[in-house]
Amino acid sequence: MVQKYSLLNNVYFLGGFATMGGMLFGFDISSMSGVVGTKRYQEYFGYPTSALQGGIVASMAAGSFLGALLAGPFGDKFSRKRTIMLAAIIWIIGSIIQCATVNVSMLIVGRIINGVAVGLASMIVPVYQSEIAPKNIRGRIVSLQQWAITWGILIQFFIQYGCSKLESNAAFRIPWGIQVVPGVILLAGTTVFPYSPRWLADKGRMEEALEVLANLRANGDKNDPEVVAEFREIEDAVNFDKTQAARSYAELFRKPAARRVFLGMTLQSWSQLTGMNVAMYYIVFIFQGAGITGEDANLQASSIQYVLNVLMTIPAILFIDRWGRRPILIAGSTFMALWLFLIGGLMGKYGSAQSFDGNKTTTWAITDNDAASKAVIACSYLFVCSFAISWGPVSWTYPAEIYPLRIRAKAVSLSTASNWAFNFVLAYAVPPALEHIQYRTYYIFAGFCVAMTIHIFLMFPETKGRTLEEMDELFNSDVPAWKTRSLATGKADAEGKLEEFSQQKSEL
């Protein structure tokens, strides 16, 4: 029976709205990057040392690491949907504590709580998206997670920029308090969302799973060829799982799962080692090193970077399911390495040791060469564009689609936890690195980008065009990663599978 069209059956709407969980992360990035270089923040918190500032920023990532680990078992037991709702509730609590902070300790506690929320959301939202999306647009739907992050960064930045003009502590309290709003919207909206059809099937609720899948794919038509073919694949996967041993984390580190778990964890780790989130957190210090001084000039230059981050994510969303995952990752890390080597080289040649009042982090800057300063800023913008169109969206998409249902939530939780572990280390270590090894910091991240390019080429198969249930065949084959190709998708493919299932049934 075909039902009346509803937004709650629209994959784009569901996937897009759920990405407000990613927007929380974006809000957090800007809530710090917009204030760390301002006089009001520095005075109120006693001019933090580079190590203390690193600790304040990294505390969020520490909470996110915990949240990502919890998201796996929570997502399996309570559902993907309810875990997103839990993340929203925790985020609201953390934002209230940050807004009311009276000292560094209270600020860190609030950021840790917010981090738990971000860890939960950043892990479970891509899983939910991948499980509701058809294979031909799965990359596009999951990529919306990264776009939401960029929007969160941009929106919060301009809120922060406007509040920086206030001559009171409201300059940072208002932006931290406004973070409650997306949390409330996410909580309210998710309550009416459908459950993931694959989670329902995994819990033995097959009729509900078929109904949700039919609503998402064919406006309620349970006899649609695509619906029947996909549901049969899900059913077969669930039935196969019943023949296996009890689920445990130990399974993740045994064959055949171990390879995919390793790939997901390293991909998420590499995404941090590009240096992108560091560039977002500490953009004020980076532009000071490029010779931009004064709060207004620095914040204005930062705003351009944030706008580029939003705009350049759009091509990836539109074409990730056409270009494939491997080419995008390889091209992105190659170009990022180039821009980072150029930034380090320009700052090393034209910069010199400097000191800035109230800022103990920036100790090297270009101060007397306008051309070199502009070149560093241009390379910084190009670096952000290269990340936004490649690793930003794909690093969330790939881990959410490569695991079988029985281990998907736990495996993605480990992948996402790896992301936050490196986020924590880098957020804490970069201010001291900028203080002590200065421009050489960029060479380190450039080296990481070279290494990840080689790793992707040698080890990561192409997943474009395959259903989630077809990943076993891909990863269990002996085809080298660089020889894998994307599969054709579409209704003809689904009808072919339906004919095959019908033939098998008649033979039985």
DSSP 187-243: HHHHTTSPPPHHHHHHTT-HHHHHHHHHHHHHTT-TT-HHHHHHHHHHHHHHHHHHT
Q: Which residues pair with 356 in a beta bridge?
A: 359
What pLDDT was estimated at residue 416? Answer: 93
Predicted pLDDT of residue 397: 93
pLDDT grade, residue 487 (50/70/90)?
Answer: low
Q: Model confidence over 263-299: pLDDT tens digits? A: 999 999 999 999 887 777 677 777 777 777 666 666 7
pLDDT at 254 over 90: no
Can you list the domains of the chain with their CATH numbers? 9-197+256-483 (1.20.1250.20)
Residue-level pLDDT at 1: 53
Which of 104-118, 260-274, 361-375 is predicted with the least confidence, judged by mean pLDDT?
361-375
Residue 34's pLDDT is what?
A: 66
Looking up tokens 């709003």 gives: 181
**Higher-confidence residue: 300 or 2?**
300
Model-level pTM? 0.85
- Say how far apart CA 409 and CA 71 lie, in whole Å: 8
β partners of residue 461: none
Q: Is 50 exceeded by the pLDDT of residue 343?
A: yes
Q: What pLDDT sits at residue 294?
A: 65
Percent of the chain at pLDDT above 90? Answer: 52
CB of 244 within 8 A of CB of 254? no
Q: Who wins on pLDDT, 331 or 357?
A: 331
- The neighbouring-strand residues paired with 365 are 352
Residue 492 reports pLDDT greater than 50 = no
Tokens found for residue 184: 């409330």
State CA 222 to chain mean position distance.
Answer: 34
pLDDT for residue 373: 87
